[in-house]
Amino acid sequence: MLLDAMEAELARAMETMGSSTDVPLYYMQYTVTDESRFELSAADGGFNAPESSRLRYLDVDIRVGSMSLDNTHEIRGGGSSDNYPPRRVVQFPIQDEPGSARATLWAETEYQYHKAVDRYSKVVTNRQIKVEEADKSADFSPMPPHQYAEVVVPTRRDTSLIRPIMRRAAKYFTEHSFVLNSGVSFTILDKTTYLVSSEGHRLQFGNRYLRMDLTVVGMANDGMELSRHEGFSAAVPEHLPDETTVMKTAERLVKELRLLIDAPEVEPYLGPAILRSRASGVFFHEIFGHRVEGHRQKRTDEGQTFTKKIGESILPPFISVYDDPTVFRHGKHDLRGYYAFDDEGTPAQRVTIVERGVLKGFLMSRSPIDGFPLSNGHGRRQYGYDVVSRQGNLIVESSETVPWEELRRRLIAECERQGKPYGLVFEDIGGGFTTTARRGPQAFKVLPLLVTRVYTDGRPDEIVRGVDIVGTPLTSFNKIICTGDDYDVFNGTCGAESGMVPASCISPSILVSEIEVEKRQKAQEKPPILPPPRCDAGGAAVGTHG
């Protein structure tokens, strides 16, 4: 019913607005995102009430003018609001009632059409008064229509198995006086996308995103807030961790938090380091992946780090990088970056970005750039935002890998060669951010969560705290010396101009000859004055406070 109603209303709008004497509408797309969510969470040992919701959201994409120049064209020199419209969230009926569905489509189409006409006139004027553009590619690329229908089977909301596991982990956290806050959460998101376009797309596709997260927060005596976190992603409940895995993870997080609280703060450092596989995945996603998104090669306010480097060596020759959203699973991990079609209705495709160190391509939406006229299925968005090119499953492959022990030995050797007393191993990274725009420093900052110091003189490894990785992209990638054979997956959610989208990165550990870390900003508060109530009451809490 829904797709029929969308097609009918789209045809009605095209008939009238497509023949408008003002500015003709040449392309329309309706996207309805159906999200069914469930969340169960525990905080500090007690449960919160389960929450569930089902909502649908509507996006109406309208293009007026022509493929070569339309209303989406960059307004050069414009303010932020000229080129990055604010998010517009439009709720859509959750009942399959054609009249209301069509009325909602109609109302939003009217709004978006008039906005498009208004912006198109600004685009035309802007082009007349500004210098000639360096990239003269069109604003939209053609795409053969696709028809596809996939029913996303709703995930069962039965928590009888997972609730006792969560309870046990949540209670375990509260047994430790240095754990100031803790949380355990389980979320389900069943998502279906319905998409029709004036080119004849008729698609229904989706995915299921299950997640379990464990978090503990503590504080060092100098006021630095410290946390450990582990997340498990899956596409089906059977792939979530069992009780043994959850409890082992909980025990590890508590142990690591204790070590972090007691750990020394690191001074700024420049020297060799290993980024463990998941940390390396995040590093590549942030520092490299965002810079090969197609729209960043075209927009005049972007740094365009790699725009003119096609065919040039930008990484060591033993490294290749792909983005392949068609991969559903890697090893034991379901990948969050999987999708069948992107948000412009283009089938997901594997894209070779770097082959043996040489830059080969970019992640493309239907917004062409010089030399890349077509989409490769990477136009993505969260509902309410405009589509831009985004990463899906970023895969870093190495043709020269060594076992972990050998990689560690090479780290020590590199430290000795440089005369450094120690190297750093980044075990876990929480995320980071990078500025790709020209107006700011085109640098990056990555936020490590767990860092180990490896000494050259044979002293035991030592956990340290309080550092962020900083640098600039071109320099950083030249420093990769060697990789491990320990490919692992980081499943996360990536935020950019087009909102939050699920993404994955797969990478081996990498050894870099030089990485820079700087001191992290920290709170100045003292630890709590009174001990946690469980401890003060002679309860079961163990360990020494802070």
Q: Tell me which residues in 267-286 interact with another protein (CB under 8 A).
A: 285-286
Cβ at position 180, least distance to another protein in Å: 6
Strands (E) across 381-443 are located at 388-389, 393-398, 401-402, 422-434
Size (the chain), residues: 546
Instruction: List the one residue from 78, 384, 543, 546 that touches another protein (CB under 8 A).
Output: 384
Of residues 237 and 527, the one with the C-beta less far from another protein: 527
Spatial contact of 326 and 124, defined as CB atoms under 8 Å apart: no
Residue type, 92: F
Instruction: List the one residue from 432, 466, 473, 484 that touches another protein (CB under 8 A).
Output: 432
Instruction: List the one residue from 1, 21, 79, 86 that touches another protein (CB under 8 A).
Output: 86
Structure tokens at 275: 């980024």
Sole window of 232-240, 362-370, 472-480, 486-494 interacting with another protein (rule: CB under 8 A): 486-494
Structure tokens at 404: 């972990």
- CA atoms of 181 and 301, how far apart (whole Å): 42
Residue 193 pairs in a beta bridge with 33, 205
Residues that contact another protein, how many (by CB under 8 A)? 76
Q: Does 24 bind another protein (CB under 8 A)?
A: no
228-267 positions binding another protein, by CB under 8 A: none
Instruction: List the one residue from 51, 133, 225, 400 that touches another protein (CB under 8 A).
Output: 51
Of residues 9 and 397, the one with the C-beta less far from another protein: 9
Of residues 218 and 423, the one with the C-beta less far from another protein: 218
Of residues 47 and 318, the one with the C-beta less far from another protein: 47
Q: Does 433 bind another protein (CB under 8 A)?
A: yes
Phi first, then psi, for residue 448 (nearest 5°) are -70, 145
3-state secondary structure 79-111: CHHHHCCCCCCEEECCCCCHHHHHHHHHHHHHH
- Nearest of 267, 265, 269, 173 to residue 220 by alpha carbon: 265
Instruction: List the one residue from 3, 4, 35, 43 that touches another protein (CB under 8 A).
Output: 43
Interior/surface letters 184-200, b for 16+ CB within 10 angstroms, e for the rest: bbbebbbbbbbbbbbee
Q: Does 17 bind another protein (CB under 8 A)?
A: yes
90-129 positions binding another protein, by CB under 8 A: 90-95, 97, 99-104, 106-107, 109-111, 113-115
- CA atoms of 469 and 75, how far apart (whole Å): 35
Of residues 188 and 266, the one with the C-beta less far from another protein: 188
Three-state SS at 393: strand
Q: Does 174 bind another protein (CB under 8 A)?
A: yes
Of residues 8 and 138, the one with the C-beta less far from another protein: 8
Cβ at position 467, least distance to another protein in Å: 19
Q: Mark residues 494-523: x for contact with another protein by CB under 8 A, - for none.
A: xxxx-xx-----------------------
Cβ at position 28, least distance to another protein in Å: 12
- Residue 475, C-beta contacts closer than 8 angstroms, at least 6 positions apart: none
The CA-CA-CA angle for residues 429, 435, 437, to 5°, reads 160
Strands (E) across 44-78 are located at 46-47, 51-64
Of residues 25 and 235, the one with the C-beta less far from another protein: 25
Cβ at position 503, least distance to another protein in Å: 8
Instruction: List the one residue from 6, 62, 180, 505 that touches another protein (CB under 8 A).
Output: 180
Instruction: List the one residue from 472, 534, 543, 546 that touches another protein (CB under 8 A).
Output: 534
Interior/surface letters 65-77, b for 16+ CB within 10 angstroms, e for the rest: beeeebbbbbbbe
Q: Does 438 bind another protein (CB under 8 A)?
A: no
Q: How buried is 537 (Cβ within 10 angstroms: 0-12 exposed, 13-18 middle, 19+ buried)?
A: exposed
Of residues 250 and 496, the one with the C-beta less far from another protein: 496
- CA atoms of 346 and 369, how far apart (whole Å): 17
Sole window of 41-49, 265-273, 299-307, 313-321 interacting with another protein (rule: CB under 8 A): 41-49
- Residue 16, C-beta contacts closer than 8 angstroms, at least 6 positions apart: none
Instruction: List the one residue from 311, 331, 533, 538 that touches another protein (CB under 8 A).
Output: 533
What angle, rounded to 10 degrees, do the helices at 2-17 and 98-129 form?
A: 40
Sole window of 82-90, 229-237, 345-353, 355-363 interacting with another protein (rule: CB under 8 A): 82-90
Sole window of 128-136, 357-365, 492-500, 511-519 interacting with another protein (rule: CB under 8 A): 492-500
- CA atoms of 278 and 522, how far apart (whole Å): 25
Instruction: List the one residue from 252, 313, 539, 544 that touches another protein (CB under 8 A).
Output: 539
Three-state SS at 489: strand
Cβ at position 36, least distance to another protein in Å: 11
Instruction: List the one residue from 20, 313, 475, 544 that touches another protein (CB under 8 A).
Output: 20
DSSP state of 24: -
279-338 positions binding another protein, by CB under 8 A: 285-286, 290
Of residues 90 and 412, the one with the C-beta less far from another protein: 90
Given 3-state DSSP classes, what are the helix, strand and coil percentages for the chain, each rounded to the nearest 5? 25, 35, 40
